[in-house]
Amino acid sequence: MAAPAIPPIRLGLIGTGLAIEKLHWPALCGLADRYVVTAFTDSSAGQCRRFAGYSGVDPALAVAARTALLAREDVDAVLVSVPIPHLYEVARDALAAGKDVFCEKPAGADAEQAAAFLSLAVAHPDRTFMVGENYFYRDDLRYARALLDDGAIGRPHLMAWRHAGQSVPRAGGFTGTPWRQRPRYRGGVHLDFGVHHIAQIRLLCGDIARVHGAVQTANRTIDAPSDLTLNLVFTGGAIGNYTASFPDIPIPPEPNDMRLYGTEGVLVLGGSEAERRVTRSGADATTHTTVFRGSDNGYRAELADFADAVQFGGRPVGSVAQSVANAMVVQRAFDSAERATALTLDPVPGAGPVPLWRPRGSAGLFDGLPGQRSSSTASFAA
């Protein structure tokens, strides 16, 4: 006799803005056997109507206030997707109400609140509490991490990554939200978007022991530093540089590749969201490129990991501690910039090396996930 199916998690949405519309709702649609939305709320009634309109979720499931949503017995877990300054208070109330919580990143609007996020997780050991970090779940990044774990480029000794891209308010886009233009969180765009890059760096290069940061303010549409450059020393001994710039003027197309230099080869991660590329070269100047298309940047996988933790136990890869570790690199970089000195990073309790996520019960990296991969070989020998 077949085992009875586990009923889907009854999910409440708190905040139904852009991240839900563009990222989480498409992912939830692919996880209909794991989740069913039983209630949703947003401080804007218009956003509630908009969500009901495009999702097809019954408008009668809209709840006027989050306290009312949290009091409902037909909500097992909540997805918190409100502006960064409000994430903590909403996650705290949801845990106090006995819900499992998937909270959007970053873990803390500043270092003090990052510590409060950690304490909140410690205070609720009986709940699944996750702070989303989709980059831990991206197919191309997990593939690259598996290559590194297999020693594909020998001992990585240097990381070099420059990311530059225009950022101006665009209606209907993330940059169009007023709370991002006048950020009430330390780090501005580097805590909001750059924290994903830090997650990528930690996933692939390991933990960061020391950081020397500098910042510049050169975007007239954002009331916070647009440029950040970091010199990094990793706990494993490798060194690196990460530079991110979000100017308000258009800039010529840039590769924005991350390069990892090892004793036996080089790994280059590039491409756009539509087509990610991982290229490995060896000492014989041969390159092996794998192209990833149709992947969703890890949103479905992170929600699958959360559902696994809620339904089967265990700890998700995107733990609160891991997200705090990401956020603290940004905070420490800003401390370093303000003090004009290199600073060490304290290990975050419960974090450590980022585990490599694989679909539950699978030895492979991509089982059951959307997306296609293709590989090719070339040479850059003279």
Ligand X SMILES: NC(=O)c1ccc[n+]([C@@H]2O[C@H](COP(=O)([O-])OP(=O)(O)OC[C@H]3O[C@@H](n4cnc5c(N)ncnc54)[C@H](O)[C@@H]3O)[C@@H](O)[C@H]2O)c1
Helix (H, G, I), strand (E, B) or coil at 319: strand
Q: How far is 357 from 367, CA to CA, in rounded Å?
A: 12
CA distance 130 to 115: 15
Separation of alpha carbons 134 and 102, rounded Å: 12
| 47 is a site residue for ligand X (CB under 6 A) | yes
Q: Which is nearer to ligand X, 64 or 342 (CB)?
A: 64
Contact 11, 99 (CB under 8 A): no
Distances (CA, A) of 112 to 28, 93, 106, 117: 32, 18, 13, 9
Smallest distance, ligand X to C-beta of residue 25, A: 11
A 10 A CB-CB count for 214 gives 16
Regarding 17 and contact with ligand X (CB under 6 A), the answer is: yes
Nearer to ligand X, 111 or 158 (CB): 111
Does 105 contact ligand X by CB under 6 A? yes
- In this structure, what token pair is assigned to residue 232? 């990094």
Of 27-35, 77-85, 197-205, 211-219, the window that binds ligand X (rule: CB under 6 A) is: 77-85
Q: Which of 42, 110, 207, 227 binds ligand X (CB under 6 A)?
A: 42
192 binding ligand X? (CB under 6 A)? yes
Per DSSP, the three-state class of 93 is helix
Q: What is the DSSP string of 227-249?
A: EEEEEEEETTS-EEEEEEE--SS
Q: How is residue 310 written in tokens?
A: 């809620």
Minimum gap (Å) between residue 271 Cβ and ligand X: 17
- Residue 104 in contact with ligand X, rule: CB under 6 A: yes
> What's the order of all strands across the beta sheet hosting 275-282?
343-344, 208-216, 227-234, 239-245, 156-164, 258-262, 265-272, 275-282, 286-293, 372-379
| Closer residue to ligand X (CB): 66 or 280 | 66
Q: How many CB atoms lie within 10 A of CB 200?
A: 24
List the x/- string, 134-153, binding to ligand X by CB under 6 A: x-------------------
Q: Which of 174, 350, 355, 356 binds ligand X (CB under 6 A)?
A: 174
As a whole number of angstroms, the distance between CA 151 and CA 180 comes to 40
Among 11, 77, 78, 84, the residue binding ligand X under the rule CB under 6 A is 84
Site for ligand X in 218-277 (CB under 6 A): none
Q: What is the CA radius of gyration of the chain?
A: 21
Segment interacting with ligand X (CB under 6 A) among 38-46, 203-211, 218-226, 254-262: 38-46
Residue nearest to ligand X (CB): 17
- List the one residue from 12, 108, 132, 156 that touches ligand X (CB under 6 A): 132
Q: CB under 6 A: which stretch of 80-88, 148-156, 237-245, 335-343 binds ligand X?
A: 80-88
Q: Which stretch binds ligand X (CB under 6 A): 37-45, 67-75, 202-210, 252-260?
A: 37-45
Q: Under the criterion CB under 6 A, does residue 177 sit at the interface with ligand X?
A: yes
Q: Which of 70, 78, 87, 159 binds ligand X (CB under 6 A)?
A: 87
Given candidates 7, 44, 344, 362, which one binds ligand X under the rule CB under 6 A? Answer: 44
CA distance 370 to 112: 38
Report in angstroms how near the CB of residue 151 gets to ligand X at its nearest.
Answer: 31
Which residues form the interface with ligand X (CB under 6 A)?
14-19, 23, 41-44, 47, 66, 81-84, 86-87, 90, 104-105, 132, 134, 174, 177, 192
